[in-house]
Structure 1
Amino acid sequence: STPSYGETSADDYFLLPATIKTLDASIFDWYTWKKTRYVFGKDWNKAYLCVYNANLALELLDKVERNTGNAADWDNVKGSALFYRSFYYLALNVQYGLGFDESSSASDLGIVIRESSDFNQVSVRSSVKTCYQKVVADLEQSLNFLPDNPRHTFRPSKAAAYALLARTGLYLHDYAMALKYADLALKIKSDLMDFNGDTDLNLLTANVPVKRFNKETIFYTEMSTGFDLHAPYSGMADTVLYAAYSINDLRRTAFFRASGKYQIFKGNYTGNANTMFTGLATDEVYLTRAESKAFLGDVSGAMADLNLLIKKRWRSSVAYVPFTAASVAEALNIIRQERRKELTLRGLRFGDIKRYNKETAGIVLSRLNEGQLYRLEPNSSFYALPLPQDLIERSGIEQN
């Protein structure tokens, strides 16, 4: 399972007053972006268990000679371990490190890089930049060993490594890198569901309209159960977000259902109403490629990618009017809005806000409770989420 506290801190949901009244003080502090002391952080612990398993697998594999009889399996284990380690390093670094900034990330605190299964190894936080460099290095190495397509989407593949490198490129503001790897991922897997009647969808199903392991899934993971404030049994869909969907946009039906006068999100790629999908899927890769093309000046190419995706989400009985943009800025604005609408509650929004604000977007998050307004200002120190207090006390590493 992947970290969830970033999604808890983002803006795609809100809590009703009755729900807020049930929160512990520390969880309310988290909801309103106050740094709070908490222990046994599931996000940190579960992710580093995966890192530990990857390191142990690599160490054990070093003791097995690669030969003609075991080459395919040996390569799969090697590539998979490198991929898993980088996948969790990236998720942790996006959540617990500040947004990447070329001028400061060499000194900004990132996460702990561990390349050994020895739990006696002293924990030291690396820089944000070093962490991203490690992610890229592991992923690039994994490409030498992984198959193009996985045996199952639970397992890594070249397509998944390319897609994760594309995601990493966005976080690094390296749009040429993101474009390169999005292209490579889509050359292997480019399927999209047509929301007008795909066999992987049932829009009439009240709670779980999207099938697990659907044709868009490149690599399957689910979000950890952390504070769960954003989960459908507690969080309401942000009203501004929901209002942004056209009446003929089938995502309104596929992704949301009414709960009183508000909406609850249900569009998980997990087949479970309360379990969030946080893996890699082709819709994200198309949006990454579109955003990268736009940033690099290919506005028409960017709009072509975006329209290819959104037309699959549009009611077929109503003529689809393609998106157009007259400038790079307009294209980026449209694509980033559609990215938010398409990738709701996928564990990506918090990192996206961080990178947009590093590009001077000036996004301010706000929550209202009992007449009091709480705000998270652009590039606030809270964008590097607090670490579990028991981790600080046991290891002596520095708190955010």
Structure 2
Amino acid sequence: MKLNKLIYILTIPVLMAVSCKKFLDIKPKGVIIAESLGDFEGVLNSELIVNPFGQNNLIIYSTDDLNDASLNLQGQTSPKGNTYFWVEYINNSSVRPDYWADLYNTIANLNVVTEGVLSATDGTDQQKKQLYAEAMVAKTFNYFHLLSFFAPAYNKATANIDYGLPYVNTTDVSKDTPARLTLQAMYDQLINDIVAAIPDLPETNINNTRVTKGAAYGMLARIYMSMGDYVNAEKYADLILGSGKAKIVNYGAYTTGQLPATNSSPEELWVRYSYNMTFSYSNELLSKYDLNNDLRIRLLATKKNDGTYSYSNFQAYNPNRGITYAEIFLDKAECLARSGDINGALNIVNNTIRKNRFLAAQYTALTASTPEAALTAVLEERRRELAFKGLRWIDMKRLDREGRMPAVKRMSKDGTAVLTTLAPGSSAYTFQIPLMVQSFNVNMPLNKR
């Protein structure tokens, strides 16, 4: 069955044939026919597009930000438990791999836009080109997060032989499953898609879930940071910061529960929602905060009776896994530190981030006398600022590639026994292709584990 005019919408259920390949286990939530510009724009505004993770926060469960104090994951073989202990994501071929399927399902919906919007029955050529460009950039977000979970960290020396993932650019599920591209080809494709889209993107859009030039620059900065290409990462961070739109909220002006809503916060450059959840801080992460004075603890954390802290998103609307201005400022600071500009790096960390995260009487500036010390300071501030935002696993992988990640241990609840260890350079930094996907695509190469 060819799907070139079908759009999958959450609210309109439909029974739909799947291909003989059962391609990528994409199970559409619903379908309508799209013809007008408004139809295609409705897809870009739909919950399925702006909340591509569904109820999945698995990329947080894999990180060293988290401990098991309130999750009861020990002994579980659930996707959360398996991810937390870095074993096979789903070890049952009859269980739908939601993280994989939901992100690919969103790509399938965006493909409907890219295949059809240029032939929409109304609208100007520029309006059509803009929606096409928005859909192309939105797809790169999904592909990048799939790569972060199911492909190895980018390494220039091996990227031409390492496996990426299937790149799907059609809605025709009767076609064969695409082969896994090399990691180099995959990254090249995503970068080229974004760069080609930029001329047709607006400077501003109707809300912060829609793509702008700034959102595209932010995705390029995120991708280049993950590749260790800090020259290009800084280039695109500069394009955002030079716009004059980048803002950091002063937490001193707020109390718990009063931070700006995700859909209106000036800190959010581009929003990709995820579901609200509560997470327990790992002791290692917690040790990096000034627990008495850091407003990120006061506003975003709750101290429990057992002395542990839990993180909750107290903003109205669900948390953002997209691009924030804080991420971009920290990208810039890290690039400066890596190039030896100690003062420039610390100026951003201190005067842009930290002064807005402490009351004036409690603020202390970070100092460093060498580029390496400045880089350490920036990376630790990045941990504090971006905790539980969906970026730590991506950072862990690139830092492990550089030899900067220590072993990460999962401890028993009483803290007396090491249950498993994620060692430096471990193949467990790459999760295996889900079993259900393997069963539908028996010739798909698997990851080294």
User: How high is the TM-score relative to the length of structure 1?
Assistant: 0.89
Contact 2:409 2:421 survives alignment (8 Å): yes
Partners of 1:210 and 1:267 within 8 A in 2:
no
2:383 aligned with 1:340, yes or no?
A: yes
Find the aligned partners of 1:18 and 1:76 in 2 and give their Cα distance.
Answer: 43
**Structure 2 partner of 1:31:** 84
What are the equivalent positions in structure 2 for 1:115-126 lying under 5 Å apart? Answer: 115-123=169-177, 124-126=179-181
Matching residue of 2:344: 301
For 1:178, the equivalent position in structure 2 comes to: 233
Contact 2:217 2:240 in 1 (8 A): yes
Aligned in 2, Cα 1:344/1:17: closer, same or farther, shift over 3 Å?
closer
Unaligned runs of 5+ in 2: 1-51
Structure 1 residues 130 and 37: CA distance shift in structure 2, 3 A? same
Aligned to 1:228: none
1:160 aligns with 2:205: no
SS at match of 1:346: coil
Quote the offset at 1:61 in angstroms: 2.2
Other structure's SS at 2:360 match: coil
Moved more, 255-264 or 209-218: 209-218
The answer to whether the aligner puts 1:49 opposite 2:105 as a matched pair is: yes
Offset, 1:24: 4.0
Q: Could you tell me the percent identity over the aligned residues?
A: 23
Aligned positions of 1:275-314 closer than 5 A: 275-307=318-350, 308-314=352-358
1:330 to 373, 380, 395: 373
- CA distance in 2: counterparts of 1:152 and 1:17, whole angstroms: 35
1:7 aligned residue: 60
Q: Is the 8 A contact 2:342 2:371 kept in 1?
A: yes
Equivalences for residues 351-362 of structure 1 within 5 A? 351-362=394-405
| Alpha-carbon shift at residue 276 of structure 1 (Å) | 3.8
1:218 aligned counterpart, secondary structure: strand
Structure 1 residue corresponding to 2:436, chosen from 358, 376, 390: 390
Note the C-alpha offset of 1:150. Answer: 1.9
Count of aligned residue pairs for this structure pair: 381
1:212 aligned residue: 262
Q: Which amino acid aligns with 2:221?
A: A
1:382–1:210: structure 2 CA closer, same or farther, 3 Å change rule?
farther
Using the alignment, how far apart are the partners of 1:165 and 1:97 within structure 2? 18
- Structure 1 residue corresponding to 2:255, chosen from 194, 203, 207: 203
Query: Is 1:80 equivalent to 2:134 in the alignment?
Result: yes
Q: Which of the two has higher C-alpha Rg? A: 2
Q: Is the 8 A contact 1:210 1:254 kept in 2?
A: no
In the alignment, structure 1 residue 136 sits paired with structure 2 residue 191: yes
Contact 2:141 2:219 in 1 (8 A): yes
- The AA in structure 2 aligned to 1:215 is P
Return the structure number with greater relative CO, CA threshold 8 A, min gap 6.
1
Aligned partner of 2:21 in structure 1 is: none
4+ residue segments displaced more than 3 Å = 20-30
Q: 1: distance between equivalents of 2:423 and 2:159?
A: 19
Which range is displaced more, 42-51 or 27-36?
27-36
> How far 1:27 sits from its partner (Å)?
4.8
Q: CA deviation at 1:93?
A: 0.9
Q: Look up the match of 1:151.
A: 206
Cα distance, 1:30 vs. partner? 3.3
Q: What do you get for the CA RMSD once the two structures are aligned?
A: 2.2
Contact 2:118/2:132 (8 A) holds in 1: no
CA offset at residue 22 of structure 1?
7.5
The superposition leaves residues 119-145 of structure 1 with CA deviations (integer Å, 9 ceiling, x where unpaired) of 223221111111111111111111111
Cα offset, 1:26, TM superposition: 6.3
Distance 1:55 1:390 in 2: 23
SS in 2 for 1:353: helix
Rate the CA distance shift 1:242–1:173 in 2: closer, same or farther, 3 A.
Answer: same
- Matched with 2:360 is 316
- 1:361 offset after TM fit, Å? 0.9
What is the CA-CA distance between 1:62 and the residue it aligns to?
A: 3.4
Separation in 1, partners of 2:87, 2:167? 27
User: What SS does the aligned partner of 1:236 have?
Assistant: strand
Q: Does the C-alpha gap of structure 1 residues 236 and 18 become closer, same or farther in structure 2, counting only changes over 3 Å?
A: closer
Matched position secondary structure for 1:19: coil
